[in-house]
Amino acid sequence: MLDRRSFLRTALAFPVFARAKLQGAPELSRVRLSFIQVSDTHVSVNRLFDPKQGYDVSAEESIRRTRAVVAAINECSLPYEFIVHTGDVAHTRETTADFDLARELLQFRRPAYFVPGNHDVGYSETPRYLPAFEERFGKANQAFEPAAGLRFVLFNSQPLDHRAPEEHRVQAFRVLDELLKPPKPTILFCHAMGLASFHLNRLFPGWPEEILKAWVSRMKAGGVFAVLAGHFHRDEIHVVDGLPFYLAGPVINFWGRQTCFRHWQLENGQLSYRTIYLEL
């Protein structure tokens, strides 16, 4: 756990900023809103081990880092209204033990929203696992207005993956279309985003082009001007057909990653973020 002095030292030592000029309704220039994004906690009651992917972390370490990031967010002196967790809340989904532990640990002092990741609900069997996730963390697909003229959409993007059955993808696109009605300035939160990933010194392909194009075109038609995601366990920005994707770093320390969370601010028509790293 960080005390206030340690937290401020961490925040000041490792600032990361990014800005995107918003195009859209004039009322966005009057919106002033701050929130926190956290991602990839991978809470587990068992050892987190995958020799193919190259990570080996104890259950105790996943718990320690989750507790630390929750404490840091709760003690954060920067203004913010709520928290959004962009997926892989838990590490395994075959039983509900990891979900139950994650629900116990993720006790924020302000409202929190959660979208599922591949470790939470998989790719090809999302309907099987989604009810247990939603029972503990709320609706996976929802839209709300945090301020007049601005919409937030939380979207379960896992069924869009090429490994999912076609009927699941069709249904997911229908859900997305409904969430984005009517078109208006929107920030969309998801876990997997379909982009290529450079990992273990190799570029792994993302979703097939036809899926990615359908995904991006629907979002743009619905007014999405920024996509906030996790999944890669890296701090990256990508732009696809003019739509920026902002990828946040993780809480879990796979591959030696440093635990972090992200503070976002929308003010004067500009979206900016600061990545805050924890010294653990």
- pLDDT, one tens digit per residue, over 143-160 is 999 999 899 999 999 999
Phi then psi for 184, rounded to 5 degrees? -165, 165
State which residues of the chain have pLDDT below 70. Answer: 1-26
Q: Which segments of 3-91 are extended strands (E)?
A: 17-21, 33-38, 48-50, 55-57, 83-85
- The whole-angstrom separation of Cα 107 and Cα 90 is 14
The sign of the CA dihedral 22, 35, 102, 49 is positive
- pLDDT, one tens digit per residue, over 172-190 is 999 999 999 999 999 999 9
| Structural domains of the chain in order of their starting residue, each with its CATH number | 4-277 (3.60.21.10)
Beta strand pairing call for 260-267 and 33-38: antiparallel
Considering the entire predicted model, what is its pTM? 0.90
Phi then psi for 236, rounded to 5 degrees? -140, 155
- The whole-angstrom separation of Cα 18 and Cα 97 is 37
